Structure 1
Amino acid sequence: MGQIKLFSPAERTIHHLLERRAELQKEATFFWFKDEAFSYARLNRMASCVSKGLQDIGVAKGDRVAVMLGNRPEFLAVWFGLAKLGAIEVALNTAHRGYLLSYQLNQAQCSVLIVDKSFLPCIEDIGKDLDSLRHVVVLDLDEALPELPGIEVQRYADLVARGEDYRPASVHWNDPLGIMFTSGTTGPSKGAVLPQNYAIHTAEIISEIAGYGPDDCLYNALPLFHGNAKLLSTMPALYSGATMVLAERFSASQFWDDIARYRCTEFNYIGSILSILLKADPQPDDRENSLRVLLGAGATPGVYEAFEARFGVSLIEGYGMSEIGLPLMSRPGACKPGTCGKPHPDYEVMVVDDEGQEVAEGVPGELLVRPKKPWTTLLEYYRMPEKTVEAWQGLWFHTGDYLLQDDEGFYHFVDRKKDAIRRRGENISSYEVETMVTSHPLVLEAAATPVKSELGEDEVMITVVLREGARLSAEELIAHCEQVMAKFMVPRYVRFVAGLPRTPTEKVQKYVIRDQGVTADTWDREKDAGHGTPVARQGAPV
């Protein structure tokens, strides 16, 4: 059975789609995990048990429940189980710790957290800083329950052992499905509130463009705490009747073995994945694989053609954001390497200058987007009304990215207007990197900027001013960073300077730092580790 048509507001919800599949196809395999098959009916039962357990501890429609899990079937059960209650999932990046982790839990006002045992120490470290958390549910916990002040801790196995008999909530297409944190620029991360129909609409777009059907098998190796894995793989598979393979993580050494074992026909790539796969030594049978299409973004023109030619697959590139879905997409047979494709019919787009005036073809400007269909973009930034209004100036969503349209109607990504860094598939807030670097007692101020990586995307560079008379080595600063931030945020490059460049109004001129890039006195973690020396405040001026 292929696509299930969803028409009414009550039907256009993720749990309704799962329930329909479970009713119509019951024990047919929805996805594989570690060679174990999970049917539609089995996942639906697992989700209902989550709903019952959470309802029994007081979770109701509109409540925010944080999820800090690796890729595993229980993650999907929790996601669909929360949707059945109309509760709102807040997916946490499993690499986060310290300040950023407590900030997101508090900002989203999460009352419940569901967490893998392996991440529990990160929660114990910030327990005293959590404002609203009242329940922690831990997976795989065999030993005694930990004690957290003012928080009830229980095992996931006990939570889901209460049966499936939950009380259904009235959930419609415009009800919040989740809060997805996006990187802040001049401030903290913003929680984009996404409606149920956002997920359904995205599944429809992807399934139609990629031509998914029951004979397809989608390989899903990206983290489920990101929208890509749930919205661009899980939901299209569910919507089109395709099978999915859920991997714990992407592994270049395991990738082709998994593709062959499950006869996968599709994979979503991000960032440098294509470059990594291309680095393997060519084999005579490289084209003898089951893949027919890969979806993603960021393939440079050279990589794009090389990958298609070597592995005999078609690449489909697009442009999207957590807030707005996928307004630009290529189509099979109508792709142009190095571009994001053309506008999807469900969106209006416009490229404007700094005054808001539309620019001509070939001229870079900020991309503005607005939807033609209801409830297909974010509802708001949670508890940030001023940021919501700012993003929707003139009733257009301002992406903060510079693009240009060529004479064939294809859109090219040019640069980020926003002060953000993209590294290894993660959007990194320079503001948050700077906040955590300056938490070191010897650091006066810092500026985080992107440096182009040899694999594409960015590396993180931090330019640092130390306090008067302080001495600190780059390695000591990096050791501090490794304690307070996610691994993917830890800077590769460190430069100590006497002062940061500023405008007459004392704003830091980051473009000056970006233009200088990696200088002779910049420390490189990948080349200079083990050779760091104390550096006094008298660094070179920028």
Structure 2
Amino acid sequence: MTAFSDVSSMQDIEMDTLCCPITTTSISMLLYNTIRRHPGANIAEIEVETGRSLTFTELLERVSSLVAGLISIGVTENSKIVVLSYNSQESHMIILAGMFIGAVIVPIDPSCQEDEIEHMLKLVEPDYMFSEGGKTLFRLHQILPLTDYPTPQLIVNNNKKGHTKFKDLLLRADPDCVPMLPDPDEDHVVFIMFTSGSTGMPKGAMLPETYFLKSQYLISEMGRTKCAENHLMATSISWVSGLFTYMKGLIAGDKTIYLRGRVHEVVLLETIQRYKINKMSSHPTPVLRMALYPRIFDY
């Protein structure tokens, strides 16, 4: 995997909590098994801006359909898939489907500067790219001509012609479809995550199976007997905080309420009140702004 030569290994990331090994060696298999154990009619996730939701059964069915669609366009184990999205139903599904196939997922925050995104793409040299439509897709079209490697196959979350449409990849599939890599090597790379680039250009780190399977934050939710909670995910799936929040919700059976982009403190306060949020994952700045909001006691 020569394209990863400039990307640091998992040892360069500080892992603060480890626990004893569990029975599976695949994070995708762990997610699959825990999702199946939850009541199928329970809501898995809600998109605040659109009100769209998926139950655990619907999520697993659509991910299985997407697995078939991705395989039909050539996605295989270790294919590199960039996901250019803050959060969306489609980006969550393509991340899970890619994991089920054994691909390497590379989430990128579309709010990054153009030169940062260009740098990240050159570093990874993806085989496939998923992009939201609108401004995100427009910016991507300005960046791709500047790269010096073969243009990846583009999967777009809109209905415009000229690209592979996300909805066209939802093929009829076996409802009992299981992850294709149930017992990978422990150093099999699942994600490449990028830093914020506050001290220069963003740096990538390869996250293998063990990074997730030994995380106390995730594994502590296994076998939890208390009632499901409403968890507000006010951070991007492209950051480790957002990724772990989403995975933890799937493992715990929580209802994950997420935002498609950065919002003002009023929207956060209204969302917390509307969905009766029990816990929240967010960058510190929005939380501080909420605390200092002059009319906070109106909520």
| Class of the TM-score when normalised by the shorter of the 2 chains | 0.7 to 0.9
Structure 1 residues 96 and 257, CA gap change in structure 2 (3 angstroms): closer
Higher relative contact order (CA 8 A, sep 6+): 2
CA contact (8 A) 2:86 2:109 kept: no
Which residue of 2 is the match for residue 79 of structure 1? 95
Which residue of 2 is the match for residue 354 of structure 1? none
Supply the distance in 2 between the matched residues of 1:278 and 1:212 (Cα, whole angstroms): 32
1:123 pairs with 2:132: no
CA contact (8 A) 1:71 1:246 kept: yes
Q: Give how far 1:115 is off.
A: 0.5
Supply the distance in 2 between the matched residues of 1:174 and 1:41 (Cα, whole angstroms): 30
| 1:468-498 alpha-carbon deviations (Å, 9 max, x no partner) | xxxxxxxxxxxxxxxxxxxxxxxxxxxxxxx
User: Aligned letter for 2:165?
Assistant: R
CA contact (8 A) 1:14 1:196 kept: no
Structure 1 residues 32 and 98, CA gap change in structure 2 (3 angstroms): closer
Is the strand fraction higher in 1 or 2?
1
User: Aligned letter for 1:256?
Assistant: L
Structure 1 residues 187 and 36, CA gap change in structure 2 (3 angstroms): closer
User: Aligned letter for 1:133?
Assistant: T
Q: Give how far 1:98 is off.
A: 3.4
Percent identity, aligned pairs only, is: 17
Structure 1 residues 193 and 213, CA gap change in structure 2 (3 angstroms): farther
Paired residue secondary structure (2:119): helix
User: Aligned letter for 2:285?
Assistant: S
Supply the distance in 1 between the matched residues of 2:207 and 2:131 (Cα, whole angstroms): 22
Which residue of 2 is the match for residue 157 of structure 1? 167
Q: Report how many residues are paired.
A: 269
Which residue of 1 is the match for residue 260 of structure 2? 248
Supply the distance in 1 between the matched residues of 2:97 and 2:216 (Cα, whole angstroms): 19
Supply the distance in 2 between the matched residues of 1:168 and 1:239 (Cα, whole angstroms): 16
Return the index of the structure with the highest Cα Rg. 1
Alpha-carbon RMSD across the aligned residues, in angstroms, is: 2.8
Is the helix fraction higher in 1 or 2?
2
1:42 pairs with 2:58: yes
Supply the distance in 2 between the matched residues of 1:242 and 1:32 (Cα, whole angstroms): 11
Question: 2:251 pairs with 229, 236, 239, which one?
Answer: 239
TM-score by length of 2: 0.79
Tell me whether 243-252 or 39-48 shows the greater mean CA deviation: 243-252
CA contact (8 A) 2:24 2:30 kept: no
Supply the distance in 2 between the matched residues of 1:82 and 1:227 (Cα, whole angstroms): 17
Supply the distance in 2 between the matched residues of 1:280 and 1:185 (Cα, whole angstroms): 27
Supply the distance in 1 between the matched residues of 2:297 and 2:217 (Cα, whole angstroms): 37
Supply the distance in 1 between the matched residues of 2:113 and 2:142 (Cα, whole angstroms): 8
CA contact (8 A) 1:88 1:177 kept: yes
User: Aligned letter for 1:95?
Assistant: S
Which residue of 2 is the match for residue 59 of structure 1? 75
Supply the distance in 2 between the matched residues of 1:93 and 1:25 (Cα, whole angstroms): 32
User: Aligned letter for 1:229?
Assistant: G
Supply the distance in 2 between the matched residues of 1:156 and 1:70 (Cα, whole angstroms): 16
Supply the distance in 2 between the matched residues of 1:255 and 1:186 (Cα, whole angstroms): 29
TM-score by length of 1: 0.45
Q: Give how far 1:31 is off.
A: 1.8
Which residue of 2 is the match for residue 369 of structure 1? none
How does 1:18-417 map onto structure 2 within 5 Å?
A: 18-34=32-48, 35-118=51-134, 119-130=136-147, 131-141=149-159, 143-145=160-162, 153-160=163-170, 162-165=171-174, 168-171=179-182, 172=184, 173-183=186-196, 188-202=201-215, 204=217, 207=220, 213-231=226-244, 233-249=245-261, 250-282=263-295
Structure 1 residues 263 and 197, CA gap change in structure 2 (3 angstroms): farther
Q: Give how far 1:194 is off.
A: 0.6
Q: Give how far 1:225 is off.
A: 1.5
Tell me whether 91-100 or 105-114 shows the greater mean CA deviation: 91-100
Q: Give how far 1:272 is off.
A: 1.7
Paired residue secondary structure (1:223): coil
Q: Give how far 1:202 is off.
A: 3.5
Structure 2 unaligned regions, length at least 5: 1-19
CA contact (8 A) 2:234 2:282 kept: no
Question: 1:9 pairs with 3, 21, 24, which one?
Answer: 24
Supply the distance in 2 between the matched residues of 1:181 and 1:117 (Cα, whole angstroms): 22
Structure 1 residues 49 and 97, CA gap change in structure 2 (3 angstroms): farther
Structure 1 unaligned regions, length at least 5: 146-152, 287-542
Paired residue secondary structure (1:235): helix
